[in-house]
Amino acid sequence: NMLERSEWIKGCEKNLRGGTVYLKNFRCAAKAEKAILKITALGVYEVKLNGERVGDFILAPGWTSYLNRLQVQSYDVTNLLKTENSLEVTVGQGWRAIANKRDGSDFLGYRDTALIAELTIVYADGRTESIVTDSSWTARESKLRYTNIYDGDIYDATFKAGSARHCICVDLEKDMLIPQEGEKIVEQERMPALQIIKTPAGETVIDFGQNMTGYVEFRIKGTPGAQATISHGETLDRDGNFYNANYRSADAQIKFICDGEEHIYKSALTFFGFRYIRLENWPDEIKKENFTAVVVHSDIRRTGYFECSDETVNKLFKNIIWGQKSNSLDVPTDCPQRDERLGWTGDAQVFVRTASLNFDVKRFFKKWLRDLAADQGRDGCVPHVIPNIFDDMGGSSAWSDAAVICPWEIYRTYGDKAVLEEQFDSMKAWIDWMRERSENGRRSGGSHFGDWLGLDSPEGSYKGATPEDLIATAYYKYSTELFIKAAHALGRDVSEYENIPAEAAAAFRREYMENGRVKNATQTGSVLALFFDITDDRAATATQLNELVKRTGHLETGFVGTPYLLHALSDNGYAETAYDLLLRREYPSWLYPISKGATTVWEHWDGIKPDGTMWSTDMNSFNHYAYGAVADWMYGAAAGINSDPDRPGFEHIIFRPVTDRQLDFVKASIDTRRGTVASEWRRENGRIKYIFTVPEGCCASVIIGGEKHEVGAADRKSTRLNSSHLGIS
Ligand code: BGC
């Protein structure tokens, strides 16, 4: 058990909406050889020892399925210790209040926060001493009068807390305490203010040039009692005015009450999604150098790079990277700004492959998947958001399938069997849940999000036109197939599941197809029939998909169809159509938002419409990573780098670049755990020249123009192959 000797403690003050400052003074009789602080909270905390911030973990302890799993952080504080010491921990609600906020109970629903910690000091003579949380600690209210993950901060520099009062010990469980598992959350880039804008409405707005997640660090003085307000927004409206109606109920504001002294302030217990800030009642002269945006997210390492001869595509790729950075704050989220910021399973499932190529997200996803398993129903039903905050929601196809698809993709990219091992029971439970709700391979009923936000949705609906049962049956097939592969990789017997994929595929064809074509076809319907290997007449289905795209000239897919659309085309003889979709600039397309100034990927194809007006305020995030899943096609098809799922972790690389006459070159690289894998093609004197990089110890197959070339295990350092080595002309 962790922190066995420490008690959970709570301050006596009743300021649940703000911060509570816990204090402990102690003396070190001798010089410490080593001092380790183990600490966590119900809520989020920031800890200081002798006035210095301990560690660089922001918003610790992060977000997990708190009832089951609460991470304990461990910090080496040896260098901060003195003879007389004071430990100071500020705790606020953080993610703890989310469920309440969504209940609509807002303030009253706030839950108690609490702290638990142990500081172990080892002296030179071998003696050890432990400072544990107990009733000798005191607590007082913080100048942070209010702090909320969605609404922001109210910081009152003039507030004088009464004297600190003794804490009370509370009888809370410790069973859920676990060591830190995820990546820590840290400050990343610092973004200078680019421009101070006086808007047509007469407001003062600062532009940081990039939509992001984090907070603003600002310098402020003012006169005592002056109150300044900062609001956050992702975009300006058509007239160039500040806009954040799309944040819905999230206030996302900082109110700062001045005391006449100069302060440098940044939020410690909350975060925002924003590119712009609006200043109201600013008490000082407004200068750019007094405002810096600090990007905050999990400490994931960048691994994937992509570049081609089309600058707009390169911008799209950058936006995808920013979308991932913005939605990787301990949990893979839908968006970072409005009153959600939740671990929506569908969004994570759609994006996981791209995520795993762009950044090393092995630890990040493994931690989240353990939360998924912890929050999964006893009956196997997978909730729609993880950590789960909705009591009774779960089971939508494509959302709950995250239980299988995410571990599989992490395994495929990193070759880590442990993730399959750990998640096996969760995967199986989800498959069993679907199985109980299927008949002769067909899934029907249940509640689903369908092809969420598909453009072919009937008026007034967010769900695209593709029937929910069709999608559910297709995912039943696909997830079960991945589950079987996972079982085989682990050497487990799953013979009783082996016939499900064929059965589900047959049911799909029987119910939804005729002569190799999907009935009442939608783009997404045909995409699934192809990409999930359901059709028994690939050529006919592919022709149909190509026709459907040609008919409108653009994509119509939502969350379900979009990630696979280009694969389904280029894998089946329609690479040109795939490139036409990728390179299309008009609405609707991946590149259209860039013409409207997008610096991240939008939730809606038409978040800002061609005439400059906005899609409705109730579902319009400008920082949703889901459609950024197209990057996996950019790596896997345009550059042609693929990790062979049968020999995962890039042990065997399949290079299968798909070239196009509209581009002069494409290059991509991925820093895998075995070394850098790279691929490049360029047009030279009317011919295409290829260069592939294979890390030491890996093998590769190169597939070009239907021909396959095998490359044996590279010995020595990495090997660079070009077209002439391969005999490709
Ligand atoms: C979220 C999505 C999510 C969806 C479920 C939305 O409010 O932002 O991205 O997957 O709900 O339908």
CA of 97 to the centre of ligand 1 (A): 20
Partnered with residue 708 across adjacent β-strands are 703
Contact 213, 273 (CB under 8 A): yes
Sign of torsion over alpha carbons 137, 139, 143, 147 = positive
Rounded to whole angstroms, the Cα distance separating 565 from 528 reads: 9
Rounded to whole angstroms, the Cα distance separating 259 from 271 reads: 24
- Pocket residue to mutate for ligand 1, from 102, 248, 334, most atoms within 8 A of Cβ: 334
- Pocket residue to mutate for ligand 1, from 350, 452, 617, 621, most atoms within 8 A of Cβ: 452
Look at residue 645 in the predicted model and tell me its pLDDT.
Answer: 93
CA of 613 to the centre of ligand 1 (A): 22
CA of 103 to the centre of ligand 1 (A): 17
Return the H-helix or E-strand segment holding 35. strand 32-42
Q: What integer is the mean pLDDT of 406-426?
A: 98
Q: What is the token pair recorded at 441?
A: 């391979």
Residue nearest to atom 4 of ligand 1 (CA): 344
Q: What is the pLDDT of residues 252-291, one digit of tens each?
A: 999 999 999 999 999 999 999 999 999 999 999 999 999 9
DSSP string for residues in 127-182: -EEEEE-STT-EEEE-SEEEEETTTEEEEETT------EE-EEE----TTEEE--S
Cα separation values, 335 from 151, 246, 611, Å: 15, 11, 25
Q: Which atom of ligand 1 is nearest to the CA of 619?
A: 7
449 lines ligand 1 (CB under 6 A): yes
Of 62-66, 77-81, 110-114, 205-209, least confident by mean pLDDT is 110-114
Portion of the chain with pLDDT greater than 70, in percent: 96
Q: Which residues contact 609 (CB under 8 A, 6 or more apart)?
A: 587, 615
CA of 617 to the centre of ligand 1 (A): 14
Look at residue 716 in the predicted model and tell me its pLDDT.
Answer: 46
Rounded to whole angstroms, the Cα distance separating 617 from 645 reads: 41
347 lines ligand 1 (CB under 6 A): yes
CA of 463 to the centre of ligand 1 (A): 11
Q: What is the pLDDT of residues 615-667, one digit of tens each?
A: 888 889 999 999 999 999 999 999 999 999 999 999 999 999 999 999 999 99
Q: What is the token pair recorded at 527?
A: 């995409």
Q: What is the token pair recorded at 123?
A: 């002296």
Q: Which atom of ligand 1 is nearest to the CA of 345?
A: 10
The answer to whether residue 108 scores a pLDDT higher than 50 is no
* Angle subtended at Cα 322 by Cα 321 and Cα 327, rounded to the nearest 5 degrees: 100
Q: What is the DSSP letter of 283?
A: -
Three-class SS of residue 576?
A: helix
> Is 187 among the residues known to form the active site?
no
Q: What is the pLDDT of residues 327-381, one digit of tens each?
A: 999 999 999 999 999 999 999 999 999 999 999 999 999 999 999 999 999 999 9
Residue nearest to atom 7 of ligand 1 (CA): 619
215 lines ligand 1 (CB under 6 A): no
Packed helices 523-531 and 538-552: angle between N→C axes, nearest 10 degrees: 150
Active-site option among 7, 234, 340, 680: 340
Contact 368, 348 (CB under 8 A): yes
Q: What integer is the mean pLDDT of 286-301?
A: 98
Residue with tokens 């927004």, as numbered in its chain: 233
The answer to whether residue 104 scores a pLDDT higher than 70 is no
Give backbone dihedrals phi and psi of 25, rounded to 5 degrees, phi first.
Answer: -105, 140
Contact 626, 673 (CB under 8 A): no
Q: Which atom of ligand 1 is nearest to the CA of 334?
A: 9
340 lines ligand 1 (CB under 6 A): yes
Q: What is the pTM for the complete model shown?
A: 0.96
Three-class SS of residue 409?
A: helix
Closest C-alpha among 216, 265, 247, 64 to residue 150: 247
* Residue, of 46 and 390, whose pLDDT is higher: 46
Q: What is the token pair recorded at 494?
A: 């799953």
CA of 292 to the centre of ligand 1 (A): 31
Residue nearest to atom 9 of ligand 1 (CA): 334
Q: What integer is the mean pLDDT of 156-164?
A: 94
Q: What is the token pair recorded at 467?
A: 């029937």
Q: What is the pLDDT of residues 481-537, one digit of tens each?
A: 999 999 999 999 999 999 999 999 999 999 999 999 999 999 999 999 999 999 999
Give backbone dihedrals phi and psi of 579, rounded to 5 degrees, phi first.
Answer: -65, -35
Look at residue 664 in the predicted model and tell me its pLDDT.
Answer: 97
Q: Which atom of ligand 1 is nearest to the CA of 346?
A: 10
CA of 184 to the centre of ligand 1 (A): 26
Residue 107: which pLDDT band, with cuts at 50, 70 and 90? very low
Neighbours of 550 (CB within 10 A): 12
Q: What integer is the mean pLDDT of 454-463?
A: 88
The answer to whether residue 103 scores a pLDDT higher than 70 is no
Of 15-19, 24-28, 275-279, 446-450, least confident by mean pLDDT is 15-19
Closest C-alpha among 408, 421, 429, 541 to residue 481: 408
Q: Which residues contact 423 (CB under 8 A, 6 or more apart)?
A: 369, 372, 373, 403, 407
Closest C-alpha among 462, 468, 474, 480 to residue 444: 468
State yes or no: cis peptide before 336, omega within 30 of 0: no
Residue with tokens 């402020």, as numbered in its chain: 220
Contact 179, 20 (CB under 8 A): no
Neighbours of 559 (CB within 10 A): 28
452 lines ligand 1 (CB under 6 A): yes
Residue with tokens 């994570």, as numbered in its chain: 348
Cα separation values, 359 from 331, 364, 365, 397, 479, Å: 14, 10, 11, 26, 24
Contact 468, 450 (CB under 8 A): yes
Residue nearest to atom 2 of ligand 1 (CA): 334
CA of 352 to the centre of ligand 1 (A): 16
Closest C-alpha among 282, 122, 113 to residue 206: 282
Q: Which residues contact 211 (CB under 8 A, 6 or more apart)?
A: 234, 235, 273, 274, 275, 322, 326, 598, 599, 600, 622, 623
Partnered with residue 146 across adjacent β-strands are 154
Closest C-alpha among 123, 114, 94, 126 to residue 3: 114
Average pLDDT of the chain to the nearest whole number: 94
Active-site option among 183, 556, 603, 680: 603
Residue with tokens 């819905």, as numbered in its chain: 248
Residue nearest to atom 11 of ligand 1 (CA): 344
Identify each DSSP E strand in 173-290 by its residue range.
177-179, 185-192, 195-198, 204-220, 227-233, 235-236, 242-243, 253-257, 263-265, 272-280
- Pocket residue to mutate for ligand 1, from 246, 247, 347, most atoms within 8 A of Cβ: 347
User: What is the pairing mode between strands 32-42 and 675-684?
Assistant: unpaired
Sign of torsion over alpha carbons 348, 353, 358, 362 = positive
339 lines ligand 1 (CB under 6 A): no
Q: Which residues contact 175 (CB under 8 A, 6 or more apart)?
A: 1
Look at residue 707 in the predicted model and tell me its pLDDT.
Answer: 86
CA of 333 to the centre of ligand 1 (A): 10
Residue type, 22: Y
660 lines ligand 1 (CB under 6 A): no
Portion of the chain with pLDDT greater than 90, in percent: 89
Residue with tokens 């047009």, as numbered in its chain: 683
Q: What is the DSSP letter of 91?
A: E
Residue 715: which pLDDT band, with cuts at 50, 70 and 90? very low
Q: Which atom of ligand 1 is nearest to the CA of 559?
A: 10
Look at residue 712 in the predicted model and tell me its pLDDT.
Answer: 65
CA of 626 to the centre of ligand 1 (A): 10
Q: What is the token pair recorded at 225?
A: 């009692």
Rounded to whole angstroms, the Cα distance separating 63 from 270 reads: 12
Contact 723, 690 (CB under 8 A): yes
Return the H-helix or E-strand segment holding 302. strand 301-302
The answer to whether residue 75 scores a pLDDT higher than 50 is yes
Residue 697: which pLDDT band, with cuts at 50, 70 and 90? confident
The answer to whether residue 724 scores a pLDDT higher than 80 is no
> Is 7 among the residues known to form the active site?
no
Q: What is the DSSP letter of 383?
A: B
Partnered with residue 257 across adjacent β-strands are 156, 227
Q: Which atom of ligand 1 is nearest to the CA of 347?
A: 10
